[in-house]
Amino acid sequence: MQEVAIILISSVLINNYVLVQFLGLCPFMGVSKKLESAIGMSAATTFVLTLTAMASYAVDRLVLLPLELEYLRTISFIVVIAAVVQFTKMFIEKTSPLLYRVLGVFLPLITTNCAVLGVALQNASRDLNFAQASLYGFGAGAGFSLVLIFFSAMRERLAAADIPQPFEGAAIAMITAGLMSLAFMGFGGLV
Amino acid sequence: MLDSLLQQPLLATLIALVSLALLFGALLGFAAEKFRIDGDPVIDQIDELLPQTQCGQCGFPGCRPYAESIAGGDAINKCPPGGQSTINAIASLLDVPAPDLDAEHGEASDIKTVAFIREDECIGCTKCIQACPVDAILGAAKLMHTVIADECTGCDLCVEPCPVDCIDMLPVEEGIDEWRWPAPAIPSGIIATDKTNPATSEDVAA
Amino acid sequence: MNKTWVTPGGIHPPENKQQSLTLPIGELPVPEKLVVPLSQHIGVPATPCVAVGEQVLKGQKIAVPSGPLSAAVHAPTSGAVWAIEERPIAHSSGMSAPCIEIVSDGRDQWIDRQGIADFQHTSPTALLDMIAQSGIAGMGGAGFPTAVKLDPGFRRPVDTLIVNATECEPYITADDAIIRERTEEIIQGIHILSHILGNPDNIIIGIEDNKPESIAELEQQTEDTGINLVSFPTKYPSGGEKQLIYILTGKELPSGQIPADIGMVCVNIGTAYAIKRAVIDGEPLISRVTTVTGEACGINRNYQVLIGTPVSHLLQHNQFDQQRSSRVIMGGPMMGFSLTSDQVPIVKTTNCILAPSHSEIPAEQPAQPCIRCGMCAEACPASLLPQQLLWYSQAKDYERLEAHNLFDCIECGACSYVCPSNIPLVQYYRNSKGEITKAKREKVKSDQARERFEFHKQRIELAEQEKEAKRAARRQAAQQAKASSAGSGSAVDIIAAAKARASEKKADPQQQRAKLERSVASAEMRLQVAQEKLDSAVANSESEEKINALKAAVTATQQKFEQAQARLAEQLQ
C-alpha cells in the first residue's frame, strides 16, 4: 500500500511529467483553451499511457530482453504506442464525435507525445514488475490530467479577463505555465 | 531455439518486429471494424447554430450545405444573418478562433426585416412563391399573394423574381416586449485621482 | 419563538424609513386626468371593453383579461373615457404602451359594490374568480396575477402560506403603514387566502424587526387565529420570495421552480389587504398605498393613491423642489428605476416615489476596473459569483453565464452596492439576460424555419417525382403505340392512329350532340358580341380601318356560327 502511494505521489506531483520533467508540452499548450476538450484529452492520454506502459513492459520482457534486442526498444515502443493511439482514436471517434473533432490533430499526436515514450523507456530502464510499471503509467497519466485541467481552467478565466495586448494569447499562457511549473517544483523533497 | 536465434541478431530482429507489427495490425483491424461510424454528426450540430434563413448569401444553396462545408474545413464567417454571435458560437463549438464577419458575403444588420407584398400591384404570377425557401408566401396562380409575416425569415429571395417589383422588405417593429437593457459602457480604466480633476477625464462629466 | 434561518450575503444600507412614518396615510384630491395602462402585471396586456367617450363609474371594469395569464383593469374614478392610445408609462425603456385615459367628472361615484361577507362558505373557485375579475396582481412589485398564483392546479397541495410583510428596501414604508392602520382587514384577507388554499397547515407572516409598531399590532390581532407572526433581523434583501422562504422555513427553492412546486405560496401583505377589499367589500383594485419620500419633497408621507394618477400630481402635493432633486425614482433606491417624465402614471406595483436630493443619492460615479476583491460574492443573497458573471458578461460568453446560474440572479443590487470600483453589475446581468433570452427566441424561430425548409424541399421533390412519373408513363404509352402500329413509324401513320383513337372516343352520340350544341351557343354569343362592337364603332364614328376590321371579324364569326350549326344538323340526322 505504501509502495502504491509512493509511486503515485511521485509520478503525479513530485516528478510530474509535464511541469517538472517537461515532457508532453505539445498537447499541454494546444488543447488547454477549453475545459471540456482538456478533460477529453487528459482522459485519452491517461488511457493511452496506462495501456502503453503495460504493453511496452510486456513487449520488453517477453520479446526484447530474451532475444537481447534492447537496442530496438525505441522502435518497438513507438510501434506499440502508435497502435494504442490508433485504437484510442477509433474508440473516441465512435463514442464521442464532438470530442474527436475538438481534439482534432492532437489525438494522433499523442503518438509523438514524448511523455508516452518517456514513460515506456523509463519503466524499461528500471527494475520493475508488471504492476509497478502499469502504476507508473497510470500515475503519469493522472499527473498529466491534473495539470492539464488546472491549466485549462486558468486559461478560460484568462480568456475573459482584461490582458494587456502584448501578452494576449500564447504569451500569457506560457507565463502561467512557467509559474505553475515553479509551484510544482516546490514538491521536490516531499518524499 | 532461442539460442539459435540469439546467434543471428538480424533474424531475431526481423522476427520480433514483424510479429509485433502483425499482432498490433490485427488488433487495429479488429478495432476498425468494431468502431466503424457512418456520417458526421457534427454537421447537425453546426446546422443547429445557423439561422436557417436559407438566403444563400454564404454562397451555398441553403444553411445545411454551408454546415457541411464548414465541417469540411470552410471559413465560418460567411453568414451575415447569423452575425457575429453565430460566428462565435460555431468557433466555440469547433474550438477554432472566431474571425470577424467576411464583408464579401454581406453586411450584418441588427434590424430584422420581413417581406411585404403591395397587394394592389400583385399580378398573381407565383414567381415569389416558387422562390421562397420556407413557403412563407400564401397564394396561387392568378390569386392574391401575401406573405405570412411570422414565417418570413427575411432572406429577400422573393424580391428579385417579382416582375412588377411589388415586394418591400420592411423592418420588424420591436415594441416594449422586445426591449432589452443596453450593455453598460466599458470602463475606460480611470484611476481614483482622475475623479477629482474633470479636465483630465471626460467620464466624470457624465 | 419560531426558528428563523439566516440567508447568505446581504447588506445593511441606511434604512431612511422614519421620514415617511410621521404622518398617517393621507388622501390626495382626485386628479383631472388618469392614465391607466393596460399592462400593469406579468402576462398579456388586458383588452379594453369600453369605447372612447363612454361614461364610466368608479370601479367599473374597463379592460378584461386576455387569456389565462392576464388581469382585469378598472376605472379608478368616475368620468369619461378620453382616449385609448399609447402613452408614456413607467418603464426603464422610456417607451410608451397602450393606456386608457379617463377624465374625471369630480363626482367619484362608485359602481354598485357586491361583496361576499360569508366567504368561508363560498367555494374557492368562486373566490378566485372574484379575485381575477377584481384585477388583483402582486403588489409587492412583481405584479403576477394573484388568481393564477393562488390556483395551484395540478401541483402538490399547499401546506404553507407565507405573507410577506418584510419591506426590506430602504425608504419604502407603504406596507408598514397599512399594517399599522388596517390590521384587522389584513387578517381577514389572510383568512380568505387560507380558505382559498384549503387551509394550509402553516400560515406565517414574515416581518423584519425594524417595524416594532407593526409587530405589536399584528401580535395583538393574530392571537388565537392560527397565524404565526415571525420577526427576524433586518437585512436587505430578505423580502425576496426565495430569501423569505428560506428565512422562515429553512427550505431552499430549487433553481427554475416556483414556491407552489414545494407546496408554498408567498403573498405580499398589501395584496392580502386588496383581496379583503375585493372579496368582502366588492371593491376591485383601483388604488394602493404609495410612499412619497426623499429630501427633494417637502412632505414625506404615505398616500392612498388612485391607480393612474400621474407622478406629477403626487410630487405637486408634496412640495417637490425640482432644483434640489437629482432624479425621481419609481420604487426604492436599490431596485427602482429613474423616471424620464413625470407624466407617467402610478400602477398597481408602484410602492414608492423617491425624490432624493443631490447629496442623498449622488450622481453615478464612473466605473473603474474590477480589482477582483470578491466583496460582491460575499454580498450575494443567492450565493452566486457576481465577479465571474461580470467577466463573462463583458466577454459575452453566454454559455458560461448560464453555467454560473445567471438566471437565478434576483437583481437585488447588493453586489453593485458593495463594489469598491462602482461597477454597475446589475446592468451587465440584465443586458446578458436579455441577450440570452433573445438568442433562445431566435433559435426557436430558426428551428421552425428549418422544418419549413425541409418540408419545402420534400414538396418540390414530390412534385418532381410526379412529373417524372407522368413523363415516363407518356413515353411508355408512345412506345407502345409505336410498337402496336404494325411496324411503320411514319408521322402520317401515327397521326392517323391518333385520329382513329380520337374518333373512337367520339362514339357516344349524346355527348356529341351536347358538345355541338355548346359550340353553336358559344358561336352565337361571339357573333352577337362582334356585331355589338361593330354597331358601337359605327355609332361612335370610329376610323374606317377599325370599322372595316370589325366588319371582317363579324363576317368570320358568322361563318363559324353557320359551320357549327351545320355540324349540329348533321349529327341530328
Cross-strand pairs, C55: C80
Contact C448 B179 (CB under 8 A): no
C412 vs C8: CA distance, rounded Å = 14
Assign B40 a pLDDT band (cuts: 50, 70, 90).
low
Q: What is the ipTM of this complex?
A: 0.74
In a domain, B80, yes or no: yes
Q: Whole-prediction pTM value?
A: 0.78
Same-domain pairing of C398 and C538: no
- Of A98-102, C95-99, C253-257, C321-325, give the lowest mean pLDDT range: A98-102
Contact C392 A162 (CB under 8 A): no
C337 vs C327: CA distance, rounded Å = 10
User: What's the pLDDT score for residue C8?
Assistant: 94
Assign B197 a pLDDT band (cuts: 50, 70, 90).
very low
Contact A79 B24 (CB under 8 A): yes
User: What's the pLDDT score for residue B82?
Assistant: 81
By residue range, what is the domain housing residue C247?
Answer: 127-282
- Of all residues in chain C, the one with the smallest CA distance to B47 is C450
From chain C, the residues in CB contact with A159 under 8 A are 395
In a domain, C394, yes or no: yes
Contact A90 B95 (CB under 8 A): no
Same-domain pairing of B125 and B95: no
Preferred mutation among C368, C372, C390, C392 to probe A, highest tally of A CBs within 10 A: C392
A60 vs A128: CA distance, rounded Å = 12
Contact C395 A162 (CB under 8 A): no
From chain B, the residues in CB contact with C338 under 8 A are none
Tell me, what CATH number does B101's domain have?
1.10.15.40
Interchain contact B52–A (C-beta under 8 A): no
Tell me, what CATH number does C567's domain have?
1.10.287
Residue C273 has pLDDT above 50, yes or no: yes
User: What's the pLDDT score for residue C28?
Assistant: 94
Contact C394 B153 (CB under 8 A): no
Preferred mutation among B4, B34, B49, B95 to probe A, highest tally of A CBs within 10 A: B95
From chain A, the residues in CB contact with C369 under 8 A are 162
For chain A, the maximum distance between any two Cα atoms, rounded to a whole number of angstroms, is 60
In a domain, B49, yes or no: yes
Assign A64 a pLDDT band (cuts: 50, 70, 90).
confident
Contact C369 A160 (CB under 8 A): no
Interchain contact A157–C (C-beta under 8 A): yes
Q: Which of B105, B122, B145 is the last residue of a domain?
A: B105
- Of all residues in chain B, the one with the smallest CA distance to A74 is B17
- Of all residues in chain C, the one with the smallest CA distance to A158 is C391
In a domain, C454, yes or no: no
Our count of domains for chain C comes to 3
In a domain, B151, yes or no: yes
Q: How far is C434 from chain B (nearest CA, A)?
A: 5
Tell me, what CATH number does B135's domain have?
3.30.70.20
Among partner residues B52, B201, B206, which is closest to C446 by beta-carbon distance? B52
Same-domain pairing of B98 and B47: yes
Assign B193 a pLDDT band (cuts: 50, 70, 90).
low
User: What's the pLDDT score for residue C329?
Assistant: 94
Same-domain pairing of B53 and B100: yes
**Percentage above 90 pLDDT, chain C:** 65
Tens digit of each residue's pLDDT (9 = 90 or more) over C409-431 = 999 999 999 999 999 999 999 99
Same-domain pairing of B88 and B143: no
Q: Average pLDDT, stretch C201-216?
A: 94
The larger pLDDT score, comparing residue B35 to residue A135, is at A135
Q: How far is C326 from chain A (nearest CA, A)?
A: 34
From chain B, the residues in CB contact with C436 under 8 A are none
Interchain contact B32–A (C-beta under 8 A): yes
- Of all residues in chain B, the one with the smallest CA distance to C363 is B206
Preferred mutation among B46, B47, B52 to probe C, highest tally of C CBs within 10 A: B52
C280 vs C283: CA distance, rounded Å = 8
Tens digit of each residue's pLDDT (9 = 90 or more) over C145-174 = 999 899 867 667 899 999 999 999 999 999
Q: Which of C282, C304, C338 is the last residue of a domain?
A: C282
Q: Average pLDDT, stretch C221-231?
A: 91
In a domain, B138, yes or no: yes
User: What's the pLDDT score for residue B206?
Assistant: 36
Among partner residues B134, B185, B192, which is closest to C453 by beta-carbon distance? B134
In a domain, C401, yes or no: yes
From chain A, the residues in CB contact with B47 under 8 A are none
- Of all residues in chain A, the one with the smallest CA distance to C388 is A157
Q: Helix, strand, coil shares of chain B as percentages rounded to 5?
A: 40, 5, 50
From chain A, the residues in CB contact with B2 under 8 A are 66-67
User: What's the pLDDT score for residue B191?
Assistant: 66
Tens digit of each residue's pLDDT (9 = 90 or more) over A1-40 = 888 999 999 999 999 999 999 998 888 888 888 888 888 8
Provide the residue ranges of all domains of chain A, joining segments of one domain with +: 2-185
Residue C442 has pLDDT above 50, yes or no: yes
3-state secondary structure chain A: CHHHHHHHHHHHHHCCCCCCCCCCHHHHHHCCCCHHHHHHHHHHHHHHHHHHHHHHHHHHHHHHCCCCCHHHHHHHHHHHHHHHHHHHHHHHHHHCHHHHHHHHHHCHHHHHCHHHHHHHHHHHHCCCCHHHHHHHHHHHHHHHHHHHHHHHHHHHHHHHCCCCHHHCCHHHHHHHHHHHHHHHHCCCCCC
- Of A34-38, B59-63, B175-179, C562-566, give the lowest mean pLDDT range: B175-179
User: What's the pLDDT score for residue C229?
Assistant: 95
Our count of domains for chain B comes to 2
Tens digit of each residue's pLDDT (9 = 90 or more) over B142-157 = 888 999 988 888 888 8
Contact A161 C369 (CB under 8 A): no
User: What's the pLDDT score for residue B194?
Assistant: 59
User: What's the pLDDT score for residue C190?
Assistant: 95
Q: How many CA atoms lie within 13 A of C370 on its CB side?
A: 24
Interchain contact B22–A (C-beta under 8 A): no
CB-based contact B79:B57 (threshold 8 Å): yes
In a domain, B33, yes or no: no
- Of all residues in chain B, the one with the smallest CA distance to A82 is B24
In a domain, C227, yes or no: yes
**Percentage above 90 pLDDT, chain A:** 47
- Of all residues in chain A, the one with the smallest CA distance to C390 is A160
Assign B201 a pLDDT band (cuts: 50, 70, 90).
very low
Same-domain pairing of C142 and C226: yes
Residue C542 has pLDDT above 80, yes or no: no
Size of interface B-C (CB pairs under 8 A): 92
Among partner residues A69, A94, A101, which is closest to B94 by beta-carbon distance? A101
By residue range, what is the domain housing residue B56?
Answer: 42-105
- Of A144-153, C49-58, C360-369, give the lowest mean pLDDT range: C360-369
